[in-house]
Amino acid sequence: MKIAKPLGAGILILLGFWCLGRVMETALDRSPDRLDKRETITAGVLIGVPATAGGAWLALDTRRQRHLAEGKRLRQIFFKLVKAGRGKVTALRFSMEAHIDGDAAKAYLNTLSREYDATFQVDNEGGITYCFHLGDVDSRLLRPAPQVMFDVILEAVPPVKQREVVKTVQKLTGLEWKAVKALIRDVPQPIQRGASQATAEEFRQALEQVGAQVALVLSDRADTP
C-alpha cells in the first residue's frame, strides 16, 4: 500500500504529461493533410488534464500522509522519553531515539517546549535539559507497566508422538526423562509457569511441531519492577 500510491501518482502524471505533450505536438502541426487534429487534441485534453491532476493529488496526499505518520512517530517517542525521564529529556537522547539529526531534535523540542510551557536546566558544559511539568500526574503512571506473563499448558499428547513430545519437553524444561513421562501421562498439565510471551511462544511452537496440543494462559504472576 505504501508503494502503490506513489507508483500510481507517477503513472498518472506521466500519462498526463504524455497526453498533453501530444496535444501540444498536434496543435503545432501545420500539416494540411492531418484530418484527426481536433479529435487528437480533444482526447489528449480530456485524458491528460484529469490524469495530471489526479497524479498530483495522489503525490500531495502521499506526502501529507508521510508527514502525519512522521509527526505521530516523533510524538510517541517524545512521550515515551518524557515518561521515562519523569518530565526531563535532552536533545541528544531524543535525536538518538528518533534517528534524526541534532538540529532537528532541538527544533522539535523547542516547539514542544513552547507548547507545553517547559523550563530548561543547563549543566556546567552548556548542555540543555528540557523539563516538561507533569503536574499532578500520579507517579504510579510513570512506572513501567508490569510485563504480562503466561503459563504454558500441555493439553494433549497423541500416543504415537509421545516419545518426541517427551524429548521436546525435556529439552525445554531441563526435567529428567521420568519426570516428564509422569507429567504427560496426566495432561493437561502446566510445563512452564510465569514465562514471558516470547518464551511461551517458543514453547508452543516447539511442542506443536512434534504433534502436542498446547495452550497459553495468562499467569497470575506479574513481573513488576
Domains held by the chain: number: 3
Residues 156 and 195 in one domain: yes
Residue 78 in domain:
no
Residue 155 lies in a domain: yes
Pick from 116, 122, 146: nearest CA to 134? 116
Give, as one character, the DSSP assignment of residue 211: T
> What is the rounded distance in angstroms from the CA atom of residue 141 to the CA atom of residue 131?
18
Domain-embedded: residue 225:
no
User: Are 26 and 48 part of one and the same domain?
Assistant: yes
Give residue 224's pLDDT: 42
Q: 120 and 90, same structural domain?
A: yes
Residue 108 lies in a domain: yes
| Domain annotation covers residue 156 | yes
Same domain, 65 and 91: no
199 occurs within a structural domain? yes
Whether residue 138 is contained in a domain is answered as no
Residues 111 and 54 occupy one common structural domain: no
Same-domain check for residues 37 and 93: no
Task: Specify whether 59 is located in the same domain as 8.
Answer: yes
pLDDT at 181: 83
For position 225, what pLDDT does the model report? 42
Does one domain contain both 65 and 92?
no
d(CA 83, CA 81): 5
Report the alpha-carbon distance of residue 101 to residue 91 in Å, rounded: 9
Among residues 13, 43, 51, the alpha carbon closest in space to that of 26 is found at 43
pTM of the predicted protein model: 0.42
Which residues, 6 or more positions from 187, have their beta carbon under 8 angstroms from its beta carbon? 154, 155, 156, 157
- Cα→Cα distances 188→59, 104, 154, 155, 156, Å: 57, 56, 5, 4, 6
Give me the phi and psi of 35, to 5 degrees please.
Answer: -100, -25
Q: Tell me the three cell numbers of residue 120.
A: 530548561
Structural domain harbouring 55: 4-71
Give yes or no: residues 97 and 66 share one domain: no
| pLDDT by 10s per residue, the chain, length 225 | 557 666 766 777 777 777 777 677 766 766 655 556 677 767 767 776 777 777 777 677 767 777 788 888 888 888 888 887 788 888 888 888 888 888 888 888 888 888 888 888 877 767 788 888 776 554 444 455 566 788 888 888 888 888 898 888 888 888 888 888 888 888 888 888 888 888 888 888 998 999 888 888 887 654 444
Gyration radius (Cα) of the chain, Å = 32
Quick one: cell of 131?
Answer: 523539563
Residue 201 lies in a domain: yes
CATH number of the domain at 112, please: 1.10.10
